[in-house]
Chains A and B, each alone.
Chain A
Amino acid sequence: RYTPNIHCCSKVCNRHMIFTGTVREIGSQAVWSLSSCKPGFGVDQLRDDNLETYWQSDGSQPHLVNIQFRRKTTVKMLCIYADYKSDESYTPSKISVRVGNNFHNLQEIRQLEMVEPSGWIHIPLLDLVNNPIRTFMIQIAVLANHQNGRDTHMRQIKVYTPVEESSIGKFPRCTTVDFMMYRTIR
């Protein structure tokens, strides 16, 4: 499925949703690996919260980012920061997202094309009934770059899980402080 990209230009990804407690970044709970990288431009630069540093691949396409969780995890959204102005021919243009239990049973659930992106790309990962997917592993594959570049740059990737309603009852989140005050004992 080809879908147009939605992107936002804020430096902090998903600030609002984190703030209302709707999502939580769980990349730190996973093991990250790359199909190839130039020395000094690897996983650390991909996960350092710094948009100036980036991962640069160093091999043949498709370039892969593998995210493996300790246990089956609910993932609501992936966010990738890409900037055509800085990366030009290194900017990914076609990305495929695959999920599964391990390297051998990955299935593509999303494919998206990007045209000169500049900012965060939000990729929601929903199943057929619009629930966030539950998976052990996510693989992000860069199938093509702008101007047919061979290698790719990716500046940051973030993975979000929906936050469970921490209070009692299967209700949506309450909105006023008057309610929230009494929700829990701390």
Chain B
Amino acid sequence: MTVLQEPVQAAVWHALNHYAYRDAVFLAERLYAEVHSEEALFLLATCYYRSGKEYKAYHLLKGHSCTTPQCKYLLAKCCVELSKLAEGEQILTGGVLNKQKSQDDIITEFGDSACFTLALLGQIYWYVELVCIDSCVNTDSCMNNFCFGILPLEPSPGDPSYLQNYSHSGSGMEPPPPPGPPKKRVMYRISQVGTKSVFAQSGNSRELIPNPFNLTQTTAPQTSSTPQVLSPTIAAPPNVQPRRSSRLFTSASSTAKENSKKLKMKFPTKIPNRKTKTKMGKGGITPSNLNESIEILKLDSSISEGKGNISSPQFQAFNLQKAAADGLMTLMRDIGRGYLALCSYNCREAINILSQLPSHHYNTGWVLGQIGRAHFEVAEYMQAERIFSEVRRIESYRVEGMEIYSTTLWHLQKDVALSALSKDLTDMDKNSPEPWCVAGNCFSLQREHDIAIKFFTRAIQVDPSFAYAYTLLGHELVLTEELEKALGCFRNAIRLNKRHYNAWYGLGMIYYKQEKFNLAEIHFKKALSINPQSSVLLCHIGVVQHALKKSDHALETLNRAISIDPKNPLCKFHRASILFANEKYKAALQELEELKQIVPKESLVYFLIGKVYKKLGQTHLALMNFSWAMDLDPKGANNQIKEAIDKRYLPDDDEPVTPDDYPYYSTAEVEESQESSMTDADDTQLHTTESDEVL
């Protein structure tokens, strides 16, 4: 597939040169998944590094073997950025255990980039020297040995040139000599290699690093041409590709245009849909970019076709190239279709399409992340969790999509996993909103809503255009009863992304709480119009309709919900409760019996069954179910269940059941040790009433 790499590489470099990092990353990820070459690895790592995510480049390169000099250099650079100086040095100079490379070895290995490599090494030693100075100040005894013997970073004795420059076996309490002279020597040595740019760069770095002791500064070497020298070299590495891509773009043959029209037809026309545009932007494939990359391929293949008749081996090669181009386009098209389905919330469709991708693309962070999200949007939280944990295993440096994973864990109430995720992500990247959303979800699960609010606010500060952070903040404010502020947050989320149905749902919930049922229904329906497959939304609409006295509509809605997602027990529960409210007791009971089979440990089910039996006058069965309900949940539902029992039996009771007794039982519940006393007391009460009944 080497023939095919180049157009894609050209596209990636093109994107990079235009600072379109998200597009570059997406394409580079696909390229690397397709061909696991070190060149593709380097390209992907470069995209990560340039988009400001050094930690991603670091983890990526660490996880795979880097033997080429460019990979090693980039990895060392990431190490320096992440303050892993020892590791950086080890990569560049070959490690502590192996023989240290001499300067000449480094020059021969790194070739053109040797100047940068040596500069980087010099930078590492700079930082280390500063650390050394600090520790020397703190420990007078070390003043004697202002050399690297103290530090683990000491280059081995096999490299006398560096040691010469840095060791000072001064006497007694001499203050450390100014770092000026040795630096000069080092720079001089480096400059002997012969490139001005390094000279300039190390001069630069020297100026930038502050001298903590106001030691006398020696005059810096001339650094006049610094900025200009550096920038062309950055553009230099992709020597081959820009030339090629410019050739591709400037070619304007008519045959190429015709071919491009034909090939364009293959691409689904629906993609540049205005509704999904924002979502596209978020995901990183813009329609224009996809078209562009396909343009490159089309023109490439058409050019090759144009020359095809020359000779047969060339013709075969070009045919191969075209076939490979078609393969890539099919891949892009399938990915695009899957993504489109997801954005239209056709989640099952999306899962189908994306699952049919070839396995080396399927098992990548991006694809699995989309599939996980698809499961999440139809409330299949277990599957979503499985898929997301796979994403974490494959790409531990990925933060995109982790906020969805954290909400999944929140729904499943897996607090341990959630707090581990939160710690890992916030340690790794403090400048993306996703880790802060995860942290907020973690504390929300622990019912520490004030702290969760702080974290969500932080996520918003880090990225004010991240709509989901506003939604999560809104939910927390609802939980702390600050409904006005919550309304504001949900509206902000909608302002940023009209298709954010979670925010519409949030607004609906607030209106429901305020008993403005009409408004609630409107907002829930708006959310449903965006995500029509959500049984949870349908369930809520059903309940609101019932509150608006439109019980027939409510039942219809709930039936729809159950048909879409038979696994959602709440739909059945609410259907049963509506039937109960409409006095259809037999039907309600039937529904509840079925529900008992599905979720046998849910106290609410028994509570409702008890109420039905009470209405039917079957008090024994009612009491039995109430007591089961209380057994299954002695803490929360207690008061309501007690009321349900007591209203019936209070007048008949001989024993004075004063209100004072109940509060103490309910507070005694708090103590684990006193739990049993509560149930015993209640049992005796039930038995007493039962015996009264019998009499």
B543 at the binding interface (Cβ < 8 Å): yes
Q: Which of B527, B598, B602, B663 contacts A175 (CB 8 A)?
A: B602
Q: How far is the CA of A6 from the CA of B665 in the complex (A)?
A: 10
Known: A169-B574, A169-B577. A179 touches B667 (CB 8 A): no
B321 at the binding interface (Cβ < 8 Å): no
A173 at the binding interface (Cβ < 8 Å): yes
Known: A172-B641, A175-B601. A16 touches B672 (CB 8 A): yes
In the complex, which residue of chain A has the Cβ closest to the Cβ of B504? A185
Q: Which of A169, A171, A175 is the most central at the interface, judged by chain B CB atoms within 10 Å of its CB?
A: A175
Cβ A185 vs Cβ B536 within 8 A: yes
Chain B residue contacts of A173, Cβ below 8 A: 633, 636-637
In the complex, which residue of chain A has the Cβ closest to the Cβ of B578? A169
Could you give, for residues 474-506 of chain B, a 1 whenever the CB lies within 8 Å of some chain A CB and a 0 otherwise? 010011110000000000000000000110010
A106 at the binding interface (Cβ < 8 Å): no
Q: Which of A1, A20, A128, A166 contacts B478 (CB 8 A)?
A: A166
Chain A residue contacts of B512, Cβ below 8 A: 168
Known: A8-B670, A21-B447, A22-B635. A169 touches B543 (CB 8 A): yes
Chain B residue contacts of A17, Cβ below 8 A: 635, 669-670
In the complex, which residue of chain B has the Cβ closest to the Cβ of A177? B413
> What's the minimum C-beta distance from B640 to chain A, rounded to whole angstroms?
4
B534 at the binding interface (Cβ < 8 Å): yes
A3 at the binding interface (Cβ < 8 Å): yes
Q: How far is the CA of A123 from the CA of B68 in the complex (A)?
A: 71
For residues 511 through 537 of chain B, which have their beta carbon under 8 Å from a beta carbon of chain A?
Answer: 512-513, 527, 534-537
Known: A6-B664, A124-B663. A176 touches B602 (CB 8 A): yes
In the complex, which residue of chain A has the Cβ closest to the Cβ of B665? A6
A85 at the binding interface (Cβ < 8 Å): no
Q: How far is the CA of A101 from the CA of B447 in the complex (A)?
A: 30
Cβ B599 vs Cβ A179 within 8 A: yes
Q: How far is the CA of A36 from the CA of B569 in the complex (A)?
A: 56
Chain A residue contacts of B570, Cβ below 8 A: 179, 182-183
Could you give, for residues 127-147 of chain A, a 1 whenever the CB lies within 8 Å of some chain B CB and a 0 otherwise? 011100000000000000000
B35 at the binding interface (Cβ < 8 Å): no
Cβ B410 vs Cβ A186 within 8 A: yes
Cβ A179 vs Cβ B635 within 8 A: no
B607 at the binding interface (Cβ < 8 Å): yes
Known: A185-B537, A186-B502. A22 touches B636 (CB 8 A): yes
Could you give, for residues 147-186 of chain A, a 1 whenever the CB lies within 8 Å of some chain B CB and a 0 otherwise? 0000000000000000110101101111111111111111
Chain B residue contacts of A166, Cβ below 8 A: 478-479, 509, 513
B4 at the binding interface (Cβ < 8 Å): no
Cβ A179 vs Cβ B670 within 8 A: no
For residues 575 through 612 of chain B, which have their beta carbon under 8 Å from a beta carbon of chain A?
Answer: 577, 598-599, 601-604, 607-608
Cβ B502 vs Cβ A20 within 8 A: no
A126 at the binding interface (Cβ < 8 Å): yes
A14 at the binding interface (Cβ < 8 Å): yes
Q: Which of A6, A10, A173, A181 is the most central at the interface, judged by chain B CB atoms within 10 Å of its CB?
A: A181
Q: How far is the CA of A166 from the CA of B539 in the complex (A)?
A: 15
Q: Which of B475, B527, B574, B608 contacts A168 (CB 8 A)?
A: B574
Could you give, for residues 202-233 of chain B, a 1 whenever the CB lies within 8 Å of some chain A CB and a 0 otherwise? 00000000000000000000000000000000
Cβ B412 vs Cβ A172 within 8 A: no
For residues 62 through 106 of chain B, which have their beta carbon under 8 Å from a beta carbon of chain A?
Answer: none
A94 at the binding interface (Cβ < 8 Å): no
For residues 4 through 20 of chain A, which have their beta carbon under 8 Å from a beta carbon of chain B?
Answer: 6, 8, 10, 14-20
Q: How far is the CA of A128 from the CA of B449 in the complex (A)?
A: 32
B632 at the binding interface (Cβ < 8 Å): yes
Q: Which of B412, B509, B540, B604 contacts A174 (CB 8 A)?
A: B604
Chain B residue contacts of A122, Cβ below 8 A: 667, 670
B651 at the binding interface (Cβ < 8 Å): no
Q: How far is the CA of A182 from the CA of B537 in the complex (A)?
A: 10
Chain B residue contacts of A19, Cβ below 8 A: 447
Q: Which of B379, B480, B577 contacts A181 (CB 8 A)?
A: B379
Known: A22-B635, A169-B574, A175-B637. A184 touches B509 (CB 8 A): yes
Cβ A20 vs Cβ B636 within 8 A: yes
Cβ A182 vs Cβ B536 within 8 A: yes
Could you give, for residues 660-676 of chain B, a 1 whenever the CB lies within 8 Å of some chain A CB and a 0 otherwise? 10111011111110000
B134 at the binding interface (Cβ < 8 Å): no
Cβ B569 vs Cβ A178 within 8 A: yes
Known: A122-B670, A173-B637, A181-B379. A164 touches B513 (CB 8 A): yes
Could you give, for residues 15-33 of chain A, a 1 whenever the CB lies within 8 Å of some chain B CB and a 0 otherwise? 1111111101000100000
Cβ A182 vs Cβ B569 within 8 A: yes
> What's the minimum C-beta distance from A4 to chain B, rounded to whole angstroms?
8
Chain A residue contacts of B475, Cβ below 8 A: 186
Chain B residue contacts of A164, Cβ below 8 A: 481, 513
B568 at the binding interface (Cβ < 8 Å): yes
Chain B residue contacts of A24, Cβ below 8 A: 447, 449, 480
B152 at the binding interface (Cβ < 8 Å): no
Chain B residue contacts of A16, Cβ below 8 A: 635, 669-670, 672
Q: How far is the CA of A182 from the CA of B534 in the complex (A)?
A: 10
Cβ A171 vs Cβ B672 within 8 A: no
Known: A169-B577, A172-B607. A177 touches B412 (CB 8 A): yes
Q: How far is the CA of A28 from the CA of B602 in the complex (A)?
A: 34
B472 at the binding interface (Cβ < 8 Å): yes
Chain B residue contacts of A6, Cβ below 8 A: 664, 667-668
B393 at the binding interface (Cβ < 8 Å): no
A77 at the binding interface (Cβ < 8 Å): yes
Could you give, for residues 548-583 of chain B, a 1 whenever the CB lies within 8 Å of some chain A CB and a 0 otherwise? 000000000000000000001111011001000000
> What's the minimum C-beta distance from B513 to chain A, rounded to whole angstroms?
7
> What's the minimum C-beta distance from B486 to chain A, rounded to whole angstroms?
12
Q: Which of A126, A171, A182, A186 contacts B659 (CB 8 A)?
A: A126
Residues on B lying within 8 angstroms of A by beta carbon are 379, 381, 407, 410-413, 447, 449-450, 471-472, 475, 478-481, 501-502, 505, 509, 512-513, 527, 534-537, 539-540, 543-544, 568-571, 573-574, 577, 598-599, 601-604, 607-608, 632-633, 635-637, 639-641, 659-660, 662-664, 666-672
- The 5 closest A-B CB pairs, nearest first, are A172-B637, A124-B663, A173-B636, A175-B633, A168-B543
Besides A17-B669, A182-B536, 7 more A-B contacts (Cβ < 8 Å) are A6-B664, A130-B639, A169-B543, A181-B381, A182-B535, A186-B410, A186-B471
